[in-house]
Structure 1
Amino acid sequence: MPNASELALFSLIVEAKSFNKAAQLAEISPAALSKKISKLEKSLGIQLLYRTTRRLSLTEAGEVLYNHSKDINKQVNDAVSAVSSFSEGLSGTIKMTVPTISGELILAQAVAEFCQRHPKLSVEMRLENEFVDLIKEGQDLAIRTGVLSDSSLIAKPLLQSNWIVCCAPTYIEKHGIPKTPQELSRHNCMAYTYQDKGAHDWYFSQSDEAYYVKISGNFATNNSQALRKAALAGYGIVYVPRCSVYDDMQRGDLVQLLPEFHGRQLGIYAVYPYTKHQSQKVRLLIEHIKDCYQRQAEYF
């Protein structure tokens, strides 16, 4: 039975169109290469090549075998490339795009830590909320929150992001605490407009019941930090990802409302273009980011 090495050498001969050239590429002598091909033909019980002093051509059986074995060299090279970084160290550049909230809170430090561990590697990280076209923009990786609509991309789940309702203690002193989601309609609820839907319809669930509450207020923005600052100043109630106000709640500057009700949940994903063999450096960066998220899961 022929092995992969013999098939790879056979493909090399066909592509080089010469035993001498193929032997040179394989770094063996022409005599040794000829011996290996003779062994391959003997094991198959059929002639694969017509060999003359001037010309090299395939038999019908040789053409069939070549069509099935010509990708072996590429597969071997891809496999070696996939693991070479273990011995050589990661190098090159990774281009990535991340949401502003995650980028400012966790990812900047996580990615900088990854770069410090791999000094030959650099990462260019863009903070933006738009869902950019990764292939068109030349991006290797994106961190995204929400539903993935582009089927040409691969999405690896990292964590679930939970949304909460909160406000400043000064707002509670002036306006009281809503006891149910329905009571929010009587409060100044400030909308986060950077989302496809739900800016003015806040989702809640409890036990097996789920519903939306329509809210209204005198301030809306597509920037989470602007919304957070308005809430800290006591101007109203906000419905935001828990991670964006976690530190504020720990300090007591913001207070979670309606904690017995669950807000919306959105998946956080590492997203990258489909490739037959994922880059080792991108795979390791994704694993590092997931580990960092898991270590700070209380933020979410």
Structure 2
Amino acid sequence: MVKTDDLILFAQVVELGSFSRVAEQNSLTNSVVSKRIARLEEDLGVQLLYRSTRKLTVSEAGKLLYQGAKNVKQAAVEAIDTVSGFGEKVTGHVKMSVPTISGDLLLADAVADFCVQNPGMTVDMSLDNKFVDLIDDGFDLVIRTGHLEDSSLIARHILDSQWVICAAPAYISRNGKPQQPEDLINHNCLQYAYQTTGAAEWQFKGDHGNYIVRISGNFSTNNAGALRKAALGGHGIAYVPRCLVYHDLMKGDLMDLFPKQVGKRLGIYAVYPFTRQPPQKIRLLIEHIRARYLAIGHYF
């Protein structure tokens, strides 16, 4: 698991352009800085910096990572500012529901960590892609991706999730690379049945707003992990949230086919029932979760 401190350190290396300057600023040795950057590269499976005796050069993967890493420190500062003054002990129980992708990616660890930090807290977390009814089902908090319409709920925006269209190099070598979105109608497109907009309707940016290309294929699933595996196996083209395949794209195991044309971008929200003043445990948990999302905002 990528450490937040290593991301902050990497951002400093890019900004200062020197291991020694970063070491001095953080009261570390050059070797410690070098080892932590090497650990980050190993965790991600990509080279972030090219080192020479004269200078450091940031790789393409490093430039991508930096865009998110530079916000990590700011996210941590914001989270601390938000909860400052909440010194008293947090106790109680929270029943929550989260999407499967975010649950697997970061929320299971983040929420369990919150409980460790607050020994009086217990959390029951369900992983479910369905739009649960907070009131009828008795949920205190839901992490939801998509459009919010229920005015009886309060939503805290966390970040936006960009979708991508991707395929394995093996599939492209056998079938050719689609040059424009309309070419997808001649390809085997793997369908994510969880999409609220329709699994066969893929959205693109156009000169006059977003438009839809209707695709078809021989495989459909409501499980994001199964869809990712089918794409990695070279069996077709997938339309998925970027965070699901971030590491695959960075390693080159999947190719982003239309990096600037995909129109689907959905907000991720922390949602809770309307109250004049939400319980402190909910506010603290939301800010803890938000900081974890923003720490890996470059995945999204």
TM-score normalized with structure 2 length: 0.69
User: What stretches of structure 1 of length at least 5 have no aligned partner?
Assistant: 1-82
* 8 Å Cα contact 1:202-1:215 kept in structure 2: yes
Find the counterpart in structure 2 of residue 105 from structure 1: 105
Find the counterpart in structure 2 of residue 239 from structure 1: 239
1:188 aligns with 2:183: no
Find the counterpart in structure 1 of residue 148 from structure 2: 148
* 8 Å Cα contact 1:206-1:262 kept in structure 2: no
| SS class of match (1:88) | coil
Find the counterpart in structure 2 of residue 158 from structure 1: 158
Find the counterpart in structure 1 of residue 178 from structure 2: 178
Find the counterpart in structure 2 of residue 6 from structure 1: none
* 8 Å Cα contact 1:144-1:271 kept in structure 2: yes
Find the counterpart in structure 2 of residue 117 from structure 1: 117
Find the counterpart in structure 2 of residue 90 from structure 1: 90
1:131 aligns with 2:131: yes
* 8 Å Cα contact 1:206-1:260 kept in structure 2: no
| SS class of match (2:235) | coil
Q: Deviations over 1:63-102 (max 9, x none)?
A: xxxxxxxxxxxxxxxxxxxx9x934311111111000010
Rounded Cα–Cα distance in structure 1 between residues aligned with 2:87 and 2:218:
59
| SS class of match (2:109) | helix
* 8 Å Cα contact 1:193-1:221 kept in structure 2: yes
Amino acid at match of 2:203: Y
Find the counterpart in structure 1 of residue 269 from structure 2: 269
- Cα gap change, 1:176 to 1:97, in 2 (>3 Å): same
Q: 1:220 Cα deviation (Å)?
A: 1.0
Q: Deviations over 1:130-188 (max 9, x none)?
A: 11111222211000000113221111111101000001111011011111001111110
Q: Which has the higher contact order (CA 8 A, sep 6+)?
A: 2
Find the counterpart in structure 2 of residue 41 from structure 1: none
Q: 1:254 Cα deviation (Å)?
A: 1.1
Two-structure CA RMSD over aligned residues (Å): 1.6
Matches within 5 A, 1:1-300: 86-206=86-206, 208-300=208-300
* 8 Å Cα contact 2:210-2:263 kept in structure 1: no
* 8 Å Cα contact 1:178-1:184 kept in structure 2: yes
* 8 Å Cα contact 1:162-1:242 kept in structure 2: yes
Amino acid at match of 2:268: I
- Cα gap change, 1:140 to 1:209, in 2 (>3 Å): closer
Q: 1:206 Cα deviation (Å)?
A: 4.7
Q: Deviations over 1:250-270 (max 9, x none)?
A: 222111111131330111010
* 8 Å Cα contact 2:114-2:285 kept in structure 1: yes
Rounded Cα–Cα distance in structure 2 between residues aligned with 1:87 and 1:235:
53
User: What stretches of structure 2 of length at least 5 have no aligned partner?
Assistant: 1-82
Find the counterpart in structure 2 of residue 65 from structure 1: none
Rounded Cα–Cα distance in structure 1 between residues aligned with 2:196 and 2:105:
23
Size of the alignment, in residue pairs?
Answer: 217
Find the counterpart in structure 2 of residue 22 from structure 1: none
Q: Deviations over 1:176-225 (max 9, x none)?
A: 11110011111101111112223111101155542111111111111111
Q: Deviations over 1:107-151 (max 9, x none)?
A: 111112212221221211110111111122221100000011322
* 8 Å Cα contact 1:164-1:242 kept in structure 2: yes
Identity fraction in percent? 56
Query: Computing the radius of gyration over CA atoms, which structure comes out larger, 1 or 2?
Result: 1
Q: 1:230 Cα deviation (Å)?
A: 0.7
TM-score normalized with structure 1 length: 0.69
